[in-house]
Amino acid sequence: MWIVMAILSAFFAGITSILAKCGIRKTDSDVATALRTVVVLLFAWVMVFVVGSAETIGEISPRSLLFLVLSGLATGGSWICYFKALSMGDVNKVVPIDKSSTVLSVLLAVAFLGEREHIALKLASAAVIAVGIYLMIERKPDVKPENRPDAETEGSPRTERKRVWGAQNPWMVYAALSAVFAALTSVLAKVGIMGVESNLGTALRTGVVLVMAWGIVFLKGKQARLKAVPKGELGFIALSGIATGASWLCYYYAIQNGMVSVVVPIDKLSILVTMAFSFVVFKETMSKKALLGLLLMVLGTLAMALGA
């Protein structure tokens, strides 16, 4: 059952990326993150009351609560970086880097959660996934120094390349940070959700994400931008929040009842949904190299799942 929930999590997560991209064309990414977190929180608590687990809050141990809070902070960091990257780069370039959290999650699960069953298969699959991710990452072409008016004062060609890399690909930094925080989220959540009903655990940690997201908005003085959010984009932000809520509920059920080193790779198959929609909605095409990378990611994930 937990594998089915992991697959459903991947489907909803894939839709989330596309809906979120539609919602941040003109809307500030931090504001959009804060707004969609409100939707996720409401969705999560509705599910808590539907399953009747609200009354068990008092039974949560301090240790579980601590790790739920830490996983919420990691999720908040991942979200902020991810949607900043989405607002700056193409979906089919940002998502593969974000999905590199798969490899780190597997390694952390093996090292800290003791998930060493079929370890050779897991590590081999993680290696295949890593190669696939590398092939999918396509940076924008560098601008030749001779074509820049300020090239003569920029220094050596190597310095120029570094400057151009930083100027044209800042989204890569945010996408990489998103992956690191996402990997930490999975491991911390696994520890925190032990002995806690999965819907309740999701709702509690979403509360932490909400505080963090709105804290960022007010610290950066962006609250005035709330009035400037287009109504059309607000709808997409709300829909992305609902999709995220559904993905989280499935994901943390799978995390609680299954192995992190298997659930995370399956969840990351959301890239198939994202890539399909990015082609249809945004007309973002992929090179043969990127398609080969996607194939390797899928094969590595399937090998890991079948070996569970």
pLDDT, tens digit, for every residue of 51-110? 899 999 999 999 999 999 999 999 989 988 988 888 888 777 787 788 778 788 888 888
Residue 283 CA to residue 84 CA, distance in Å, equals 21
Domain of 50 in residue numbering reads as 2-306
104/164: higher pLDDT = 104
Q: What is the DSSP letter of 118?
A: T
Domain count, the chain: 1
Predicted pLDDT of residue 171: 84
Q: pLDDT of 192-228, one tens digit each?
A: 888 899 899 999 999 999 999 999 999 999 999 999 8
Highest mean pLDDT among 17-31, 145-159, 220-234: 220-234
**pLDDT of 139 over the 80 cut:** no
If you average pLDDT over residues 16-41, what whole number do you get?
89
Phi-psi map region of 118: left, alpha, beta (phi>0 left; psi -120 to 50 alpha): left
The confidence band for 160, taking pLDDT boundaries of 50, 70 and 90, is very low
Place of tokens 């709702």: 203
Predicted pLDDT of residue 233: 92
Place of tokens 């908040």: 76
Residue 180 CA to residue 255 CA, distance in Å, equals 18
